[in-house]
Amino acid sequence: MYEPRVHSLRKYFKTQMLGLGVQPDYVDYTMGHMADTHYDIQMKGIEFLRNIYTANDLSIQPKTRVNKVEALREIIRAWGLNPEEILTREALAEPHRTVTIDFEDRDNSQLQTLSRAFKDKIRQETTVQMCSSHGGPAGN
């Protein structure tokens, strides 16, 4: 395992910030380098540079990736549905199914079930909106 050193952390910071599209003068200033624009950047204030750094979400730890099933669960919750209830209802509707320990198969199955429920919810919302926009009194 590689033991990080100050120089390698500085190099990582500079490489990542430049790769994220931050202006080189801002990166150099943040690292303590003197540049032609040093005083211009300093006049913008520390909060200006903090906002740039924060907006780029730089971290030495890998970012946690949300899998598709978890992302879909959150979307479904935002639409007012309960993903656990949907998955339970599906499991009870098909008692003849054999449960396997293959997590990829389980995730694919859950993804299909939740996708189907989400599509149904969108169709229902669209139908309600279409009916309410065309459903005025007769003769209008």
What are 25-76's pLDDT values in tens digits? 999 998 988 878 888 888 988 888 888 888 887 777 776 767 888 899 999 9
- pTM exceeds 0.85: no
User: Does the pLDDT of residue 77 top 80, yes or no?
Assistant: yes
Spatial contact of 41 and 49, defined as CB atoms under 8 Å apart: yes
Please report which helix (H) or strand (E) contains residue 25, including its range: helix 24-30
Distance between CA atoms of 34 and 25, rounded to whole angstroms?
A: 9
Give me the residue label for tokens 């309410």. Answer: 132
Distance between CA atoms of 19 and 80, rounded to whole angstroms?
A: 39
